[in-house]
Each structure stands twice: as structure tokens, then as C-alpha cells.
Chain A
Amino acid sequence: DGGITQSPKYLFRKEGQNVTLSCEQNLNHDAMYWYRQDPGQGLRLIYYSQIVNDFQKGDIAEGYSVSREKKESFPLTVTSAQKNPTAFYLCASSTRGGGGFFGPGTRLTVL
């Protein structure tokens, strides 16, 4: 089955730790995206990538990093520089000009 997966579903982080959220797609989509969702604030774009080995900052990239070494994978690292990382993180992929297909999300909580 084609789709997009995110893991883990729930993630707990201690203050000062870096954590990496996984996003994998087998849809052969060129573009991939990471969004952060907070209550009442909709989806905010963190990073996006339109091609392997290239990515651009979104509106709230500070404290996050990504890589795009393979077409299928777009992992997001939440670094200790992100002061308020508790949120729901959504990954999406799309063809150019197509709508995004979303993964089920990862809920990150800082302890």
C-alpha cells in the first residue's frame, strides 16, 4: 500500500535533549514537508524539501533541522535550541502542484 508513515506516535523528551522524528513515504513524491500544530494556531511550516539533497526553511525553522538524503525520507530533529517543542508534528508529501498527503502525526511532549 502506498502511504506516508511517521514514527513514533508519541515521544517524550527531557529538556536539553535532541530528538528525531521519522517520516517515510512510498508515494514517489518529490516534495516533503514538516508542520507543527499547536491548539488554536493551525499548521505552521517548519521546513520543506522539493528535491533530494535540498530543503528550505519555513516560517518557524529556528530550533529544528532536517535532512533529505533519500527521496523517501525526511527526518526532523528537534534540537535543544527549540524552547517550546511540545506540539503535534505532521509530515506531508506531494507531487509538484499536488495536495499534500499527510502522515498520522507525532505528539512530542517535553518532560
Chain B
Amino acid sequence: AQSVAQPEDQVNVAEGNPLTVKCTYSVSGNPYLFWYVQYPNRGLQFLLKYITGDNLVKGSYGFEAEFNKSQTSFHLKKPSALVSDSALYFCAVTASNTGKLIFGQGTTLQVKP
């Protein structure tokens, strides 16, 4: 069965500091991994994805994520947080052979000035 875990309900960082939002996954088969951001009362916006290749993936708005196969993780990172990064972040996974896209519970990122 596929599953995604985001162990932190909320992450608090100061503006200018690096941020990490954690995600671990479980799939049978090759994983396709994604990060999305959601602002209040809006749909989800795609940030980045890992399909294959380089384990470090760069995405929109300066975000990046590192795929770690041995730890089954795909943590979202940004070197210097902005107040405008404050939002709800979702990690998602699909297996290459199913097409079923499953989401984590979401992590609220709060960046304080």
C-alpha cells in the first residue's frame, strides 16, 4: 500500500533562516514524489517533483528537495525562508505502476519576521 507521512503538523522558522519540511513515503515500485503548496481557500500549486536522476531536485520559488532512497525520504528545503513562504505544504507520492497519487497530512510552515 502507498502512504506518505509528514511528521510535523507545523514548522516555525525565522525569516532568513534555512527551512526543512519533512516527508517520508512507502510504495512498492519506483516512487514519483512531489511537493505542493496551498494558500488559504485555494487549490494546490506544484513546487517540484522527483521522477529519476539527480537526488537533489530544484523547484519553484527557491525550494529544493532531496530524494533519499535508503531512508525513503523526500524532505523539502530552502536556504533562506521568506515570510511569504508561510503556507500549507503537502508531500505526495505515486508509484510508477499505479498512477494513484496519495498525499501526506500537510505541514503548516510559519515564517516569522
Complex contacts, B104 vs chain A, CB 8 Å? 42
B102 beta carbon closer than 8 Å to chain A: yes
Min Cβ gap B32→A in Å is 5
Secondary structure type dominating chain A contacts: strand
Min Cβ gap B68→A in Å is 19
Stretch in contact with the other chain, from B13-21, B70-78, B93-101: B93-101
Most chain A Cβ neighbours within 10 Å, of B43, B96, B102, B103:
B43
Assembled-state Cα–Cα distance A58/B82 (Å):
36
B105 beta carbon closer than 8 Å to chain A: yes
Complex contacts, B45 vs chain A, CB 8 Å? 102
In the complex formed, the residue of B with least CB distance to A105 is B43
- Within B55-87, the residues touching A (CB, 8 Å) are none
Assembled-state Cα–Cα distance A42/B8 (Å):
13
Report if A101-B46 is in contact (Cβ < 8 Å); known contacts: A42-B90, A43-B90: yes
B103 contacts which of A35, A50, A56, A101 (Cβ < 8 Å)? A35
B99 contacts which of A44, A48, A88, A102 (Cβ < 8 Å)? A48
B44 beta carbon closer than 8 Å to chain A: yes
B22 beta carbon closer than 8 Å to chain A: no
Complex contacts, B90 vs chain A, CB 8 Å? 42-43
Q: Which residues of B contact A (CB under 8 A)?
A: 9, 32, 34, 36, 41-46, 49, 51, 90, 92, 94, 96, 99-106
Q: Given contacts A42-B106, A45-B101, A98-B32, could you give 14 more A-B pairs where the C-beta distance is less than 8 Å? A: A31-B99, A35-B103, A43-B44, A43-B90, A88-B41, A90-B43, A98-B49, A99-B36, A99-B46, A99-B92, A100-B44, A100-B92, A102-B44, A104-B43
Q: Which residues of A contact B (CB under 8 A)?
A: 6, 31, 33, 35, 40-45, 48, 50, 56, 58, 88, 90, 92, 94, 96-105, 107
